Amino acid sequence: MKKQKEPKGEYKFNEKEYVEELLRVIDSTYTGHYSRQHFQATEFIIDGGHGTGFCIGNIMKYAQRYGKKGNRDDARKDLMKVLHYAIIQLYVHDYFENHDIKINEKFDYEVGKLI
């Protein structure tokens, strides 16, 4: 990966703070109810070849729900979920690109690795 240049001056939209907050939210999914015995359901979905549909579907779900359910804090949590699923989709995209597999192509697998 190419080294990024540091910005000249400060971020104008508090990007650094939001990225740090997002990382804390992501960290919490590895210790919360989303993780069982060090595996997340998302891993099995990706390994089954359904990662893109799952991630994009969840991005759409939480984006469309934004501001319509609960209070302002709930809406903010929905935005964090959109960002988290977008990051997971970046992983899926890059993984498939690096293994020369077309998105949504069938492939043989064992949990956590291609065969």
Question: Is residue 106 over pLDDT 70?
Answer: no
Q: What single-letter amino acid sits at 64?
A: Q
Mean per-residue pLDDT over the chain, rounded: 84
pLDDT score at 102: 60
pLDDT in tens, 71-85: 999 999 999 999 999
pLDDT score at 104: 53
Question: Is residue 47 over pLDDT 70?
Answer: yes
Q: What mean pLDDT do residues 9-34 have? A: 89
For residue 20, the surrounding DSSP H or E stretch is helix 15-29
Q: Residue 14 CA to chain centroid, in angstroms? A: 21
Question: Is residue 4 over pLDDT 70?
Answer: yes
Question: Is residue 57 over pLDDT 80?
Answer: yes
Q: Sketch the domain layout of the chain as residue ranges.
A: 41-104
Q: What mean pLDDT do residues 99-115 have? A: 55
Q: What single-letter amino acid sits at 82?
A: V
Identify the burial level of 52 via C-beta atoms within 10 angstroms of its C-beta, where 0-12 means exposed, 13-18 middle and 19 or more buried: middle
Of 53-57, 68-72, 97-101, which gets the smallest average pLDDT?
97-101
Nearest residue to 108 via CA among 67, 48, 52: 48
